[in-house]
Amino acid sequence: MDLLTTAPAWVLARATGAVLLVLLTVVTALGVATASGLRAVGVPRFAVQLLHRDAALLAVVLLALHVVLVVTDPAVDVGPLAAVLPLASGYAPVAVGLGALALDVLLAVVVTSLLRVRLGLRAWRAVHLLAYAAWPLALVHGLAAGTDGTAPWMLAVDAACAVLLTGALLVRLRTRAERAVTLPPSRTAPRAARPVASAGALR
């Protein structure tokens, strides 16, 4: 085995990348659950929100460690600029570039979350939705850039993460559909029709 697959820094970078994908999956699934108004049995919704926030903070810390390990590893040509700028890496530029895009998306989400009060709910939510794009970018990045990307155990982790997140999204879609069906007519009627109905009621 060569240095690329045996160097301690590279092994740790691969390990943090795998754990980070799992953690990012959990964060995204908890975000979907929070948006759907779902909660675990016996667990209040605010607790799910806190878990989502804390898991996201842990993911940011782990992501920073992952980036530092890769950038400082002499076995691969991935400089600091390549960590945030796609196609700037000397090692697997496309695969590393996808990871850089995922990092950029997560940084945008973190910064706007810190400025949420000043930005307003609508602007924050628009940027926060970008977090959904970070997951597939991270998945493909791990498959293509990691030396264990196609190993059976890593593929099993990828599949488990995909199943979990797909299930959460399906539940989210079903919840939205059920709410749309159960909303009263006054909630589902077009806005332009409401003044007419109100005017008729006043006659």
Specify the pTM: 0.78
- As a whole number, mean pLDDT of residues 146-154 equals 86
DSSP of 142-157, one letter per residue? HHHHSTTTTSHHHHHH
pLDDT greater than 90 at residue 94: yes
Six-digit token pair at 95?
């695969």
Share above pLDDT 70 across residues of the chain, in percent, rounded to a whole number: 82
Average pLDDT over residues 21-38: 83
Q: What angle do CA 119, 120, 124 make, to 5 degrees?
A: 75
Could you tell me the pLDDT band of residue 104, with boundaries at 50, 70 and 90? very high
Distances (CA, A) of 176 to 57, 67, 135, 172, 200: 28, 37, 22, 6, 31
pLDDT tens for each residue of 176-199: 777 777 655 555 445 544 444 443
Q: Rounded mean pLDDT of the chain? A: 81
Q: What is the pLDDT of residues 45-69, one digit of tens each?
A: 777 788 888 888 899 999 999 999 9
Mean pLDDT computed over 139-158: 90
CA distance 11 to 69: 10
pLDDT at residue 156, rounded to an integer? 95
